[in-house]
Structure 1
Amino acid sequence: MSVKRFLSSIIVYVLLYSDNLSAQKRPDPIVIILDEYIVPIKTVDPDSSFADIGFLKVTLKDKQVIGLGEGTHGSHEFFRYKDRLIRFLVAELHFKAIAFESDFAAVQQLDEYVIGRQDRIRFLGGFPLISETKEMLAWLREYNKSLPLGEKVRLHGLEARSVANITKLLLDSLPNLSAENRKVLSKICNIPEYLLKQQDIAELQSCIPSLYSSTTKASDKLPQRYIRLLEQKTAYILQPIRKQVGMRDEAMFENAVWIKEMAAAQKLIIWAHNGHLSKENIFTQVPLGKYLSEKYGTGYFSIATDFNHGEVRVHAKHKGEYKSRPVYFGPAKSAKEYEFCFGQARYENFLLDLNEAVKNPELKSWLEGPRMMKLIGGTPTPSESKLSISRCFDLLCFFRKSTASK
């Protein structure tokens, strides 16, 4: 090969290589449009000023139920930002009730702490009591200090996760229990749940009609809810696994409606996983959010959280046993994932009003997907289901990087 031809080849190669590099750096065309609609998340510090999210007062002013979702149960940023939004909703929009995807009896003990009836948290399980949520509980306790009981922020659980917890509540709240029912409840609440047999649950279930008959006064609304929680829990346990799918969301919806009706101004914040707060089916079961959307229409507002890559605290097998530990999830690699474009946006962390974004035809088509979105529960196995993010949620809080909750 001549020197001239060799040099020509080098020049062509360099030009082609440069073009490839430019193409790799050039963002996806949808990102350019996306950048026009996103608002930067300036801080996740719950103690910071609300100046940067003040615009949400207009967006949320007429909402009756606001769902605060989480794409994982173990991301530090999600918990901190949800704490910030809780404080905003309480201080600026006067929400007085918060319900958690947690055990009713366990959260009742946290409620006793935040309203000042207990000086220390009595932990019964069924709630993510970690560094991030302890800070939130301490803030709510301080906020409540100077308020009369009827104006204090109250906490609630959305389900009965523990047979023992709910039976103990019934034993404490129903002084007129028959000797036979008291004997059954006392026996069941002292058996570890993993040792309970179907005949134990069936025996407990058979007590329910007479439990209801012992609560006839107008003041018995709370004990009646305890009985209903027990009824939901026993029905769930006695069903085959394939029929249990969806029963949790249906029960949480019923309990959320009850909590909302009991709450001051009938306004409610719900803290749960994105998958439960979706306004459309993501999996085979109907989610809590869809029930809420059908009942309250535009009065229900669903906020999702999402991330591109980083560590998440999950229960994962390590050296032969399951433990809570950080697991790394890599960045999106395909345009079939929403995070692929979100991760290229000009702000690392941002808010996206999905209801506004879909007014742009190109963005509407992209946001309707369907595409994959990171949905991680308590284990390291993500969801494999596609969804339409703009149909499932109203607002997105996106973080480019997740760090494990503490």
Structure 2
Amino acid sequence: MRPLGEALGDARLVGVGQASHGGHEFQAFQHRALRYLVAEKGFRSLVLEAPWSTGVRLDDYLRTGRGDPLRIMSDELHSGYLFMHTREILGLIRWMRQYNIAHPGDPLRFAGNDSSYAGPQLYDRVEEHVRRAHPDLLPRVRELYRGLRPTLPALEYMIGYLGEPLDVRREKAERTAEVLELLRERTPKERTEQDHLWAVQHATAVDQVARQYAFDYDDPDEARRAMAYRDTMMADNTLWWLEQTGDRTVLAASNGHVYLEGYTPDYPVIQGGLLRRALGDDYRVVGAAFGRGSFLAADPSVADPSDTDVKRFSSGPIAPGSVEETLDRVGHPHWFVDLRTAPAAARAWLGVTRPKREIGTHWPRPPDQVNVLRSADVLVYVHQTRPIELLPRV
């Protein structure tokens, strides 16, 4: 790992990608990279492509030991997030908790940065802050949040929300936006400033989810704008975390969310590009690729997959002319290349846009067109993958 650490330099934020959400090796590498960066580079936070509410609950567990990570993950990680409801991620969380027990004065922190679900505890935390700090606002906040707090399991809630009429979803977004504005208008007292900042961020996360569902997904242009909004909010939440905690941080997500440029018109704006524009070289990207093997995914016909919709797939043969065709010729079992210092001939080859497998929630799908040199600072290559191990629900 030491040469990788040298390639990452003094970056404050390191995005570590996955070429397949459902491939074990990529979650295992994210864990290994975090452990190395904690021990050798002073990193202290992990931001995961997961709901903000998931991060709040798991961060509480890491800092205090309260709660059960199995229960938290079972409650929160559904639909596209179910690919993080895995034994691999649970092992990472448990390692972080053990680290905090051994280092009580220098804890590791955890955040989710995504905007497709807001658990009931976010509403509770906003209302509790309002009750303590701004009691005159409490009746109005409760009225605005009435009927919005999830009462169903997360997957049912998400499917049901998107199934509501568009005007209903947009009216909900107007209400969450009003709560956020009411909080932003208040000036906190010095002794409550931190509480206020966190309450505003929780209200922001609630509003982000409502706005995410307020797009018309039956309109292709609106759907693309929704995806641009999602990555913009992920970047905003990550930058807020960096500023608030001051931690050097690992961002773990799919390649498509950490890359510096997009590879599909369905995602016209991507988080990684926004982060590079905001942070410059303080944001470095570790992309991933693989040759062959198996992984978990859902059929493209299932928009919001449940655990039973997930199947084991095989990658099939490497496509002629693809990124993988050449990279698979390197003999090392697992290897990486520093794209910034690679020889000129390698950079020239990597700087051409070619087909590359980028497997998210669904498979099969056509290969994406990726310019590796413009997308990442480092590329990790795995010859063979096996599936992640999903956890049972509790």
* 1:212 matches 2:184: yes
Select which of 191, 202, 206 maps to 1:230: 206
Pair 1:394-2:366 in alignment: no
Task: Summarize the alignment of residues 2-401 of structure 1 with structure 2, pairs less than 5 Å apart.
Answer: 53-118=1-66, 120-121=68-69, 122-123=71-72, 124-126=75-77, 127=81, 128-149=84-105, 151-165=106-120, 166-175=122-131, 176=135, 177-190=137-150, 192-193=157-158, 194-195=160-161, 197-198=168-169, 199-213=171-185, 216-217=188-189, 218-219=193-194, 220-241=196-217, 242=222, 243-264=225-246, 266-284=247-265, 285-316=268-299, 323-335=309-321, 337-357=322-342, 359-360=343-344, 362-382=345-365, 384-401=367-384
CA separation of 1:169/1:372 partners in 2, compared to 1, >3 Å: closer, same or farther? farther
Q: Deviations over 1:357-385 (max 9, x none)?
A: 2x32x222210111011101111134543
Q: Which amino acid letter does the alignment assign opposite residue 182 of structure 2?
A: S
Give yes or no for contact 2:127–2:141 (8 Å, CA) kept in 1: no
Distance 2:338 2:7 in 1: 9
Instruction: Using the TM superposition, give the Cα deviation of residue 299 of structure 1 relative to its aligned residue in structure 2, in angstroms.
Output: 1.8
- For residue 140 of structure 1, give the secondary structure of its aligned residue in structure 2: helix
3-state DSSP class of the match of 2:260? coil
Larger Rg: 1
Take 2:172 and 2:373, find their aligned partners in 1: how far apart are those partners?
Answer: 45
1:222–1:120 CA distance, 2 compared to 1 (3 A): same
CA gap 1:96/1:88 in 2 versus in 1, 3 angstroms: same
TM-score between the two structures when normalised by the length of structure 1: 0.79
SS of the residue 2:93 aligns to: helix
Report the CA distance shift for 1:190/1:86 in structure 2 as closer, same or farther (over 3 A). closer
Structure 1 unaligned spans of 5+: 1-52
Aligned residue pairs total 349
Give the Cα–Cα distance (whole angstroms) in 1 for the partners of residues 185 and 63 of structure 2: 31
Q: Name the amino acid aligned to 1:134.
A: L
Deviations 1:138-160 (A, max 9, x none): 111111113235x2110011123
* Separation (CA, whole Å) in 1 of partners of 2:28 and 2:377: 20
Deviating more after overlay: 76-85 vs 201-210 = 201-210
Q: Distance in 2 between matches of 1:227 and 1:248?
A: 16
Once the two structures are superposed, residues 80-102 of structure 1 have per-residue CA deviations (whole angstroms, 9 ceiling, x without a partner) of 11111110011111101111111
Over the matched positions of the two proteins, sequence identity in percent amounts to: 19
1:142 and 1:370 map into 2 onto residues whose CA distance is: 43
**2 CA distance for matches of 1:113 and 1:347?**
39
Deviations 1:36-95 (A, max 9, x none): xxxxxxxxxxxxxxxxx2223322341111001011111011111111111001111110
Cα distance in 1 for partners of 2:366, 2:261 equals 15
Q: Is the 8 A contact 1:314 1:324 kept in 2?
A: yes
The answer as to whether partners of 2:350 and 2:373 remain within 8 angstroms in 1 is yes
Residue 200 and residue 364 in structure 1: after superposition, are their counterparts in 2 closer, same or farther (change >3 A)? closer
**Alpha-carbon contact 1:79-1:132 (below 8 Å) kept:** yes
CA RMSD of the aligned region, Å?
Answer: 2.4
- Matched to 2:251, the amino acid is I
1:254–1:75 CA distance, 2 compared to 1 (3 A): same
Q: Deviations over 1:204-244 (max 9, x none)?
A: 43433224345634221100111222232222222333221
